[in-house]
Amino acid sequence: MTGSGVVVARHKTAMKRMRMSRPTAQALSESVLRKGDTFFDYGCGHGVDVALLRAEGFAATGWDPHFAPAEKKVDADVVNLGFVLNVIERAVERQHALRDAFALARRVLVVAVRVEKNLLAGEDFEDGVLTKHGGFQKFFTQSEFREYVEAILGVKPELAGIGVAYVFKSEEARHAYLSARLLGRRLEFRTELLDLFAKDALAQELLAKCRARARVLRRAEFEGFAALAERFGSEDRVRRLAARLLDPDALAALREERKAALLTYLVTSRLRGLAYPKASMLANDVLADLRTAWGTYERAKAAAEEFMFLVGQSDAVNIACQASAVGKLLPEDLYVHRSAVAQLPALLQVVVEMGRLVVGPQEAEIVKIARDGRSLSFLWYPQFDEVAHPTLDKSLRVHLPRADFQFRDFSASTNPPLLHRKEAFVSEDYAHRGRFLRLTAAEERAGLLGSAPGFQTEWLALLASKELQIAGHTLRRSKGAPSRPHEGSKATIPPKPRSATPTARPSSSS
């Protein structure tokens, strides 16, 4: 049997979706599912994923014991087994479904399950619970999920998020995914793209105007921004490329950045239990970069082996935190914006990847690295760019020695933690850093940041006590507040002393 009766119960209690499921959408966004791939949805339900992918031009099919029992189970490049294992009551049938789906996958199986610390209330049944709606649910912890997939299939899964994993059919396919994720995230700063940008006639015009103004221009200051964004990816990328080319030391820094990324890739491959990829398995540009950095690929692997001895050493992690050119260093942790992770020292990039081995990649705005190297936190501030002092929405703390995690939700809090000095978290070429700096300077002149409260209620009370308010990223006198002596109508904030300069890495306030 295939556990079809249980899957029927799942669909009877589920609402029909009108958008792509999370695991399929994620596989598509991460190019695990690519144009030209065939796709099979094992337990497709109402067939929403299949229909949406067909509309995008994919050869997609699905099977479901209740809604599509007449459809055939067929092999495909990518097979999706989304939230099926949770609802199969019998352990032996659950194993059969996982093996059956994996056997159909030519390149990769996408598996998704519900992962929760606190199980739904219900009557114990088999190794799960019967909910009040009469449906069966088997919940997994994240570590149990990883171990279960590996034990049943004999292949280490690549965790892509909480309750989502990719199981590749070959090491070559897995290395292709890892190299694309670890080495492709800083594509806009690759030498080849910089060269193309530098040779572009419109980009040269932009650079000339930037040099004349001694800064990178904004969109409204250059008519060709939209055309450059079309050619090179986005307006923010255009600004970053321009910033790199305006700095004579940029390429040297870029080479060190690329070397750290390559070292991180090799080391984390070993931490995943993989052998180093054969040279023939590497993309031509990756192999060329390895040889440029170390002379030969063999020397690169030797450097990675030597580097492995530093992983897990608290003193080494602490030294790397202190040496980092990006991030906000506090007594116990280093905080860095996700856009600057690739500029961290190689050892800290490895620490971040160790956290991702437990919970998969996370799109949190801030990454917090413990200086003892024992924990890592992903912190979500959804309005980091838009709001002057964004509040914490949720956090995911990964305990590295135990390979487990703790999730906290602050979205309903009436007094959530908030951020000050946002410029300290980002790199110097971050698109919005200038306005972050100007706000911090104004707040310092107003005496707000000496011992700034770290929670929203106390911060708003401090602003009110000084008759100040923040609009956008501008600090101003509150409406109706009386002017102070010797202040004109526009001089709402005390002038900044000429000797004072805002610090890029404060030692207090988070």
Specify the pLDDT at position 479: 78
For residue 127, what is the domain's CATH number? Answer: 3.40.50.150
Give the pLDDT band (50/70/90) at residue 262.
very high
Question: Is the residue at 187 inside a domain?
Answer: no
Residue bearing the bigger pLDDT, 328 or 229 = 328
pLDDT digits (tens, 9 = 90+) for 475-506: 999 876 655 443 333 333 444 333 333 333 33
Same domain, 38 and 165: yes
Work out the average pLDDT over 450-467: 93
Q: Which domain holds residue 222?
A: 200-247
309: Cβ contacts below 8 Å, ≥ 6 apart: none
Mean pLDDT estimate for the chain:
84
Q: Residue with structure tokens 């923040």? A: 470
Q: Are 335 and 298 in contact (CB under 8 A)?
A: no
Q: Phi, psi at residue 391, to the nearest 5°? A: -100, 155
pLDDT surpasses 50 at 463: yes
Specify the pLDDT at position 139: 81
Same domain, 242 and 318: no
As given in the structure block, the two tokens for residue 243 are 């910033």
Report the DSSP beta bridge partners of residue 329. 334
Specify the pLDDT at position 114: 86
pLDDT digits (tens, 9 = 90+) for 419-445: 999 999 999 888 899 999 999 999 999
Same domain, 152 and 232: no
Same domain, 143 and 58: yes
Give the pLDDT band (50/70/90) at residue 411.
very high
Give the pLDDT band (50/70/90) at residue 130.
low
Same domain, 157 and 94: yes
Question: Is the residue at 292 inside a domain?
Answer: no
Residue 199 Cα distances to 73, 205, 206, 247, 412, angstroms: 51, 10, 12, 16, 51
Least confident piece of the model among 8-17, 29-38, 465-474: 8-17
133-153: string of b/e by CB count within 10 Å (b at 16+)? eebbbbbbebeebbebbeebb
Same domain, 164 and 211: no
Specify the pLDDT at position 451: 83
Q: Are 86 and 98 in contact (CB under 8 A)?
A: no
Give the pLDDT band (50/70/90) at residue 320.
very high
Same domain, 364 and 503: yes
**Dist CA 493 CA 58 (whole Å):** 59
Report the DSSP beta bridge partners of residue 40. 61, 79
Question: Is the residue at 44 inside a domain?
Answer: yes
| H-assigned helices in 111-153 | 142-153
Specify the pLDDT at position 317: 97
Give the domain-ending residue among 147, 169, 191.
169
Question: Is the residue at 174 inside a domain?
Answer: no
pTM above 0.75, yes or no: no
Give the pLDDT band (50/70/90) at residue 132.
low
Specify the pLDDT at position 480: 67
**Dist CA 208 CA 204 (whole Å):** 6
Question: Is the residue at 189 inside a domain?
Answer: no
Work out the average pLDDT over 283-299: 89
Same domain, 211 and 345: no
Question: Is the residue at 502 inside a domain?
Answer: yes
pLDDT digits (tens, 9 = 90+) for 329-366: 999 999 999 999 989 999 999 999 999 999 999 989 99
Same domain, 204 and 157: no
Q: What is the helix, strand, coil percentage profile of the chain, to 5? A: 45, 15, 40
Give the pLDDT band (50/70/90) at residue 194.
confident
Same domain, 357 and 499: yes
Residue 55 Cα distances to 15, 50, 491, angstroms: 22, 9, 58
Specify the pLDDT at position 455: 96
Same domain, 86 and 210: no
Specify the pLDDT at position 135: 65
Question: Is the residue at 367 inside a domain?
Answer: yes
Using a pLDDT cut of 70, give the percent of the chain over it.
82
Same domain, 234 and 340: no
Question: Is the residue at 282 inside a domain?
Answer: no
Least confident piece of the model among 79-88, 175-184, 234-243: 234-243
Q: Are 239 and 216 in contact (CB under 8 A)?
A: yes
**Dist CA 287 CA 186 (whole Å):** 17
Using a pLDDT cut of 90, give the percent of the chain over it.
60
Residue bearing the bigger pLDDT, 54 or 240 = 54
Domains of the chain: total: 3
